[in-house]
Structure 1
Amino acid sequence: MHPLKSNAPLIVYLDVKSPYALVAVRPTLALESELGLAFDWRPLTLDIPSFLGSAEKRDGKVVQSSGRSERIWRAIRYSYHDARRYAERQGLILKGTEKIWDSSIANIAILWVMETDRSKIPDYLNAVFPPFWRRELDIEDIAVVEECLCSAGISSTGFQTFVTGRGRQIHDSLHGLFHDCGLYGVPSYVIDGQVLRGREHIPYLRWRLSGSMGDAPDIAYELPAC
């Protein structure tokens, strides 16, 4: 699997632990449905401590922090504030996480659904993203992720073997190629080998995927109807 190549018209990269991925899921699913296309949904598991440092909270208070300057803390607080505004417009709850999660199992499950029951991608994303951001899921527990699969109507038979075997290999292989391919964050979209990061590119993606008729739209967030 090459990070920039797919038989699908669009590759969508997500990470369950990203607030910006949360607010991109519904608009991207809506675009897929609107155009009657099947996107290639893939995981991009962020290594947050490598560029933002790490921290752990308990009862809302920071109890451990490493590599985070006050400038980084301000940027993180703003990013949550920004994402929360768009979450609220979708009726979603976005609570700041208490630690930096290893989201790889929940992300590998995206690969599992794509291979075993592609039509259930919307169901799985809706089963894992909103509850995680309500602090209802331990996505580091494989049994919890299996429950998300089951609640979305997807068989989890063989999932544990997939997570420790081929699924992990695909996940890690992709991860090792991301930076060389210009993939650094989520949501990221790849169209004809071009990387576009951020939900604000959805109007442009609609234009491209619809045949590029007329002038290209401005880059902007679209407010959901819901």
Structure 2
Amino acid sequence: MKALESDAPLIVYVDIKSPYAFVAIRPTLALEKSLGIRFDWRPLTLDIPSYLGSARKSKGKVVESTRSASQWTGIKYGYRDARRYVERQGMILKGTEKIWDSSIANIAISWVMQTDRDRLGDYFEAVYPPFWRRELDIEDIAVVEACLEQAGIDSKDFAAFVAGEGRAQHDALQKQLHPSGIYGVPTYVFDGTILFGREHLPFVRWHLQGREAPAPDIAYEIDDREPQPC
């Protein structure tokens, strides 16, 4: 697997522990469905401490932190920004109390892509909303297996996949991402073009529909409904 190449017309990189990926999941799935095109969904497991420092909370209070004041300011704004869009979708986003290793939950994306592709949206619904309500320990493989089963996906050989082929695929892909120019999620890739952020979805739609009209502005879509006349 090469970071910028796919047989699908669009690659989508996401991470279960990213609030901005959470914001983008439903709109991106809706675009995939409306176009009748299967995207190539892939995991990008963010190494947050490498650029934003690390922190841990207990009962709502910070008990460990290596972050600067400016890093905390940026993180707090990021959560407020993502929360605005999540709440428009009728969901809840609570800041995490530690930096999670999301690799197991992310490897499950590859598992679903390879074993039961049509249920990928069901897996996202089983894992994303409860994780952001602080209801899931995504570092526990049994918890991720339960999410797969809840989504109607067979998890019988998932643990072996995580221990072997799945982990090897995941780690090999992660090593390619930064050198390829992919740094965050959601990231959309087509024809060598890399677009970071859900605000590019209107442009992605325009591209996938054949670029027949003037390119749209780069902006968040409020929802999937067509605008109504005043």
Please report the TM-score for the alignment, with normalisation by the length of structure 1.
0.98
Hey, what's the Cα distance between the residues in 2 that align with 1:223 and 1:134? 22
Q: Which residue in 2 is equivalent to 1:40?
A: 40
Which string of whole-angstrom CA distances, capped at 9 and with x for unpartnered residues, describes residues 130-162 of structure 1?
Answer: 110000100000000000000000000110000
Hey, what's the Cα distance between the residues in 1 that align with 2:129 and 2:9? 26
SS of residue paired to 1:186: coil
Hey, what's the Cα distance between the residues in 1 that align with 2:129 and 2:156? 24
Which string of whole-angstrom CA distances, capped at 9 and with x for unpartnered residues, describes residues 15-69 of structure 1?
Answer: 0000000000000000000000000000000000000000000111100001x11
Q: Offset at 1:172?
A: 0.3
Gaps of 5+ in 1: none
Hey, what's the Cα distance between the residues in 2 that align with 1:225 and 1:185? 24
Q: Which residue in 2 is equivalent to 1:27?
A: 27
SS of residue paired to 2:63: strand
Hey, what's the Cα distance between the residues in 2 that align with 1:70 and 1:92? 29
Q: Which residue in 1 is equivalent to 2:59?
A: 59
8 A contact 2:86–2:92 mirrored in 1:
yes
The runs of at least 4 aligned residues of structure 1 exceeding 3 Å deviation read none
Q: Which residue in 1 is equivalent to 2:220?
A: 221
Gaps of 5+ in 2: 226-230
- Give yes or no for the alignment of 1:104 onto 2:103: yes
Which string of whole-angstrom CA distances, capped at 9 and with x for unpartnered residues, describes residues 100-134 of structure 1?
Answer: 00000000000000000000110001110011000
SS of residue paired to 1:51: helix
Q: Which residue in 1 is equivalent to 2:113?
A: 114
Q: Which residue in 2 is equivalent to 1:209?
A: 208
Q: Which residue in 1 is equivalent to 2:162?
A: 163
SS of residue paired to 1:176: helix
Hey, what's the Cα distance between the residues in 2 that align with 1:225 and 1:89? 12
Hey, what's the Cα distance between the residues in 1 that align with 2:116 and 2:47? 28
Q: Which residue in 1 is equivalent to 2:186?
A: 187
- Give yes or no for the alignment of 1:16 onto 2:22: no
Hey, what's the Cα distance between the residues in 2 that align with 1:224 and 1:62? 35
Hey, what's the Cα distance between the residues in 1 that align with 2:16 and 2:223? 20
- Give yes or no for the alignment of 1:135 onto 2:123: no
Q: Which residue in 1 is equivalent to 2:4?
A: 4
Please report the TM-score for the alignment, with normalisation by the length of structure 2.
0.97
Hey, what's the Cα distance between the residues in 2 that align with 1:169 and 1:35? 32
SS of residue paired to 1:146: helix
Hey, what's the Cα distance between the residues in 2 that align with 1:171 and 1:193? 21
SS of residue paired to 1:101: coil
Q: Offset at 1:199?
A: 0.1
1:64-103 equivalences in 2 (<5 Å): 64-66=64-66, 68-103=67-102
Q: Offset at 1:192?
A: 1.0
Q: Offset at 1:225?
A: 4.8
Q: Offset at 1:94?
A: 0.1
8 A contact 2:27–2:224 mirrored in 1:
no
Which string of whole-angstrom CA distances, capped at 9 and with x for unpartnered residues, describes residues 174-219 of structure 1?
Answer: 1101111000000001011211000000000000000001100000
Hey, what's the Cα distance between the residues in 2 that align with 1:80 and 1:24? 14
State, as a whole percentage, how many aligned pairs show the same letter.
Answer: 67
